[in-house]
Amino acid sequence: MDNGTSRAQVRRIVGEMSPLGAREANSGDRLVEDLGYDSLAVIELSLRIEQEFTLADLGTGPTADITTVQDIEDFVVQQQAAPSDAA
């Protein structure tokens, strides 16, 4: 999956899971202030992102600081790139 497709998919998922109701999400949208995410919704979003992009178990690895949709897009793209960087 190329980066552009991954980013579009992240935006789709974030918009779809917004507690304010499914909507279009933009990269600059803030999760809490603009899209209504609360603590439970953020956990659910994280699990969905991990599942959709088959992210490795991050139990002992770094976790991503996020404020905006763009931060999640960047995190997913970095994680997808990680195996080839290591190779």
Partner 1 sequence: MSVTTPGLVLDVTETAPETAAEQRGRLADSAALYRRWERQQWAVAQVDPARDAATWESLTPFSREQMLGSLGELEVGEVTVTHTLGALIDAPPTEDDRIFLCTQLADEARHVRFFQTYLEDACRTGLDAVEEGADYSEVFTPVLTRATDAVRQNPEDRESWYRALVYYHLITEGVLAATALRTTRFLARRLKLEALEEGLTNVTRDESRHVSYGLRAAQDGVAGGFAQVVEDAHFESLGAAAWVLIGPSRHNPVPALHAALLSRAAQIRGSVEIARERLAKQLRLVGLPHVAEKAVASWDLAVETALDAYAERWNAPHPIRAAAA
Q: Which range, of 1-9, 21-29, 41-49, touches partner 1 by CB under 8 A?
A: 41-49
| Chain centroid to CA 33 | 16
CB nearer to partner 1: pick between 3 and 67? 67
Q: What is the H or E stretch that residue 2 is in?
A: none
Residue 45 touching partner 1 (CB under 8 A): yes
Distance CA 10, CA 51 (A): 12
CB atoms within 10 A of CB 15: 18
Residue 40 touching partner 1 (CB under 8 A): yes
Q: Please report, as ranges, the residues that interact with partner 1 according to CB under 8 A.
A: 31, 38-40, 42-50, 55, 57-60, 63-66, 72, 75, 79
